[in-house]
Chains A and B, each alone.
Chain A
Amino acid sequence: MTISLKVNGRERTVDVAPDTPLLWVLRDRLKLKGTKFGCGVGVCGSCTVHVDGMAVRSCSVAVSDVGDMAVTTIEGLAEGPEGTPGAIQQAWIEEQVPQCGYCQPGMIMAVAAMLETTPNPTDADIDDQITNVCRCGTYPRLRRAIHRAAKAKGAQA
């Protein structure tokens, strides 16, 4: 079935079974490899992308359900044509968050969505809203990086 999608600001057309999870369309058809497969059952958050600005676990969304909603992946989060790191990514670099790095694109996408609705999150907000798994245990740095990113974004605004 031919399905049209808006991904990172571009119209894309793919020919896939309608129940194909958005994750695999992004990764294997559109070759956007930044979005990761961690569990396939919605519990780890590695596959988090934005659909109309909301953080969504793309392994658990059928591509046919996306419709004309705008999809943003980690590749779409960088700023400008040069692809420089966005404010959140910059905070991640400054706090040296990643270890293996596998969870981090999903983590960053989840945080990016949170900061849109909760620009100055408290630790409790973070605990409530960021439920992605990081098996390497980067949590102490993650928390610092989230606060740093919130501050940096606040200063930009």
Chain B
Amino acid sequence: MTSPKSPDRLAGGLARREVLLGGLVLGLATGAGARARVAKAGEGATLNAFVSIAPGGEVVIVTPGAEMGQGVANGMPKIVAEELDADWANVKVTLSGYAPDYLSPVNKRQRSANSDGITSYYDALRKVGATARAMLVAAAAQRWSIEPAKITTREGMLLHPDGRTMLRYGDVAAEAAALPVPGTVALKDPSAFRLIGKDFPRKDIAAKVMGSAGFGMDLDLPGLLYAAIVHVPVAGARLLGFNADAATAMPGVHKVVQVDNAVGVIADSYWQAQKAADTIELDVDTVPLMDGDRVRETILAALDAPGEGLLPFPVGFTDGKFDMGASSEEIEAGLAASDATFEAVYEVPYLAHATMEPLCATAKVENGACEIWAPTQAADAIPPDIEQATGIPAASVKVNRTFLGGGFGRKNERDFLVESVKLAAAMPGRPVMMVWSRQEDTRHDYYRPAFAARIRAGLAEDGAIAAMHGRIAGQPLMTTAPFRRPGIADFGMVGELVSSTYPIALRKAEAVEIEAPLRTGYWRSVSASQNGFFFESAIDELAAMQKRDPLEYRRALSIADPRSLAALDLLAEKSGWGKEMKPGRGMGCALTSGWNARCAQAIEVEVTDTTLEVKRIVCTFDCGQMIDPDNVVAQIEGGIVFGLSAALFGKITVKEGVVEQSSFADYPVVLLRSAPAIEVHLIESGAPLGGVGETGVPAVAPALTGAIFAATGKRVRKLPIVDAGFEVAL
């Protein structure tokens, strides 16, 4: 473990090890030559935990974030490089493991979740870059015996005021590293940014198209063994025992190990391990078997008769206090006094994350310590979890991160890391790489729960929403349990059920929690993944009730928020909103406002008999200041496809206690042929930084069901859409 007291010695060490072990270096051409070159660069002078500079001038910057596709292995180092005034072409990026130096000063965490990678590190990374720059300037000032203030920097060069003399960063890096770290540093005026807000190719992309980027399974270590694992298939059941006679006798098998409710097989190769694991018979205790239909009935019943279990949820947070919204009496009075009232029930199913890379992790346990190499969104939470599960002291747990083949919230969980350490503990001194089969990955997820919600609203004469009451029922998220406040509903379930996007005079949100044995957790966009659909569908229905255009109605509701208005107006223009359409065609829209962003989408569909085709999705997006605008577009495109897969097909079902789906064959996602044309138009609003990774997801389902309504007059209130009798070409 690195000591938190020696930040200035950290980055070079980490960088070197990662380069040598995993080849986790970005922005490389492939091949050993390039790798060796960077390994040498890592031996340069270390200016702080994030920056080291080689004598040749190559700058190595560590990203504190987990790179799962969202681009933090490019965006975060770019923020450092901006203030450092580095030559971006000469910057190499390395991935971080966990280290206290990499905790975000904003949330005191190191983990990639909640779309806050950039927002929670922006100020800190600027300071990191500016500090390193100040030290380089100070070193040059000593050499030249002049005032530091007289020196300017540009693209990795230090410029003498004489206009002729200059030094490269690499020339003085060693001297700079020995200087005291300045307490305060000046940051650039954003108008002087050369990198932030401008597009350059992402530094991880070349390695990803050459096949040389190191993901969780791509590590190779001396003496590496492989493990496959089978979990008790029945939700909520315990493993009583198992028969592994056949497995133990199979070639290459070293050991069969029970790990809590699962059995792992350790072998010389993954295939030997998996083949052996397939022969294991599990003895499982009898439990009441979970059945999807019964869970749905329970959820719907809870909505109607919550009994004692009704939990309130704040509708806002002002002056450091929760705003609990209107009381029941106020809401009922508000609804009774309204000109017109509305009520509808909406439903969504359980969803799996289905990351492209199945769960995997490598661990080595030796002398009471362990080292982990894994594609994980988590970092600081890992050592304490390992300590709790295995007794290995947190301080003796070293975490290295690889690239992630997708995360979407699943890889923020630590279950698979704990398993890998427990397996490795059976083979002390040998690294063991555990790989889950796709079936295990699909059946043992932390699912986005199934929910039902009833939205009630009362309208004033002019269409303004006088009162809105949202009640949601379903399983709460396990992930959020440590952050729960007694007597208050789960934010992962209720957040934005009665959205703050529009002004509503009287607002009330509440939840009823049911119990079911599936594990539940963060799923890209979390509560907005269901509540965006519930709330924006209700807005759409309110417009229809008044025979108003759904986009015009949202515009009228947004009149006090210039960012929403700008997003809607640009959406109307770019989508050709209101244009004449042939029969069977329709367009729907939605507006969401999470993560300090505005995301408006218009979706055009064609319905012929029962066949649904999504023709086109137009999105206008404002996340305030951007680091990599083209990557913002990519993230929104990806978020839209993710939301579209869920809206069209996404459904995890449970029968006799067992999750019925096992791969992309029965948990389908959008493919090239079912991906519509997607246009993303960015808005530069000048607002402060907002989140991006999750923001594209929530508007898709309501805009799509709005489009189906426009085309057919049929309102889909229950997802997925294929269950409403539409066929979608896969």
Contact = CB atoms under 8 A, between A and B. Distances in A.
Contacts of A152: none
B346 interface: no
Interface string B54-73: 00000000000001111100
Interface string B657-696: 0000001110001111101011000000000000000000
Question: At the interface, is chain A mostly helix, strand, loop or mixed?
Answer: loop
Nearest to B437: A40
Interface in A115-139: 126-128, 130-139
Given A43-B663, A93-B209, A133 B356 contact: yes
Nearest to B204: A101
A44 interface: yes
A130 to B, nearest CB: 5
A137 B642 contact: yes
Contacts of B212: 34, 75
A130 B675 CA distance: 12
Contact of B69 (A20, A33, A99, A108): A99
A69 interface: no
A20 B271 contact: yes
Contacts of A12: none
A83 interface: yes
A98 interface: yes
A25 to B, nearest CB: 8
Contacts of B642: 135-137
B239 to A, nearest CB: 23
B171 interface: no
Contacts of B201: 93, 96
B211 interface: yes
Nearest to B23: A33
Given A74-B211, A133-B669, A83 B356 contact: no
Interface string A27-45: 1110101111111110110
A29 B226 CA distance: 12
B432 interface: no
A24 to B, nearest CB: 4
B360 to A, nearest CB: 9
A137 B678 CA distance: 11
Contacts of B490: none
Contacts of B637: 137-141
A38 B202 contact: no
Interface in B618-649: 630-631, 634-635, 637-642, 645
Interface of A: 16-17, 20-21, 24, 27-29, 31, 33-41, 43-44, 46, 73-75, 77-78, 82-85, 89, 92-93, 96-105, 108, 126-128, 130-143
Interface of B: 29-31, 67-71, 201-202, 204-215, 217-218, 220, 226, 251, 269-272, 274, 354-358, 403-408, 435, 437-438, 630-631, 634-635, 637-642, 645, 663-665, 669-673, 675, 677-678
7 contacts: A16-B269, A33-B217, A102-B215, A126-B672, A126-B673, A131-B672, A137-B640
